[in-house]
């Protein structure tokens, strides 16, 4: 694969990712986890 082909593929991936972020709904999930027992166990 030539350098020009890699650049072309990277640009295509970039455009697709930007399009996805701009046109598709996104959501994020955050979960709080109490790691106290795990930390104690590892000590």
pLDDT, tens digit only, all 43 positions of the chain: 899 999 999 999 999 999 999 999 989 999 999 999 999 999 9
Instruction: Please give the C-alpha separations between residue 4 and each of 10, 14, 18, 26, 40, in angstroms, as whole numbers.
Output: 10, 15, 21, 32, 53
**Confidence (pLDDT) at 19:** 95
pTM: 0.53
Q: Which residue bears the tokens 């697709």?
A: 16
**What tokens were used for 43?**
């000590």
Q: d(Cα 13, Cα 4) in Å, to the nearest integer?
A: 14
How far is Cα 34 from Cα 36, in angstroms, rounded to an integer? 6
Q: For position 1, what pLDDT does the model report? A: 83
């Amino acid at each position: 694969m030539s350098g020009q082909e890699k650049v072309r593929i990277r640009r295509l991936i970039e455009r697709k990712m930007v399009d996805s972020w701009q046109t598709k709904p996104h959501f994020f999930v955050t979960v709080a986890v109490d790691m106290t027992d795990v930390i104690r166990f590892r000590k």
